[in-house]
Amino acid sequence: MDPKFYDAAINGKDDFFATRAAAVPENLSGQVTTKLKNTILHVAAKSGKLQIADDQPHVVGLLYEKNKKGNTALHIAAKFGHLEFVRVLIRARKEDVERNTKLLTMVNKQGETALHEAVRHDHFDIVKLLIEEQPELVSLTNDAGESPLFMAVDRCFYPVALHILGKNNRSFDGRNGMNVLHATAIRSQSISPSKS
C-alpha cells in the first residue's frame, strides 16, 4: 500500500484521500497492506478518523472486499466501536442496489458477522444499529455455534443480551452444544457470593 494513502486513512486526512480517490479511483482497489491484505477502507475503519461520504464510488467499490481474515471494513469498524463509520458503510451499501443486503450478513473466516464483532466488544449502539438494519442477524451463529445472544450472556454484557432477547427469531445456541441457559447458569455461579 502506498504510504501516503495509509497515512491519510489512519490519520483522517480527508482532503488527501478524497482528492486522490476522485482523481484515480481505480488505484484504491490496488491499495492493500502486505501482511493482512487490508484495503484502504479497512485501514480507515480501524482508525475511525477518516470522514468519508457514503456516496463516493470508491467506498461502494470496496465495501465487500475481505482481508486475509475474511473481515470486511464493516467487521473492523464494528470491532473497534466506530459508530459513525458503521453508519457511513451501511448508507453506502444502500447505494449498491444489487448487493444491498449482503454486506450485513457477510461472514469472516470464523463465520462471524459484524454483529458478532460488535457483541464481542460490547459496542451496544452498533449492536442496536445493525439489528435495526437487518433483524435476522440475531439468528445467525458463528462457526463455533455461538449466537450473538449467547456471546453477550457468556461475556456478562447484559444490556446487549436484553436488547437481543427482545427480538424475534433470535438464536439461543452456543458453543459445544450449550445454549444461553447454560451460559446464564455458569455466569451466575461465578458472580454469586460463596456460602461458607
> Residues 63-112: pLDDT tens digits?
899 999 999 999 999 999 999 999 989 988 776 666 666 899 999 999 99
* Better-scored residue on pLDDT, 60 or 152: 152
Mean residue pLDDT across the chain: 81
Is the pTM value of this prediction over 0.85?
Answer: no
Identity of the amino acid at 122 = D
Domains along the chain? 1-109 (1.25.40.20), 110-196 (1.25.40.20)
List helix spans (H) across the chain.
Answer: 3-11, 14-23, 26-29, 40-47, 57-62, 73-80, 83-95, 102-105, 114-120, 124-133, 148-154, 158-165, 180-191
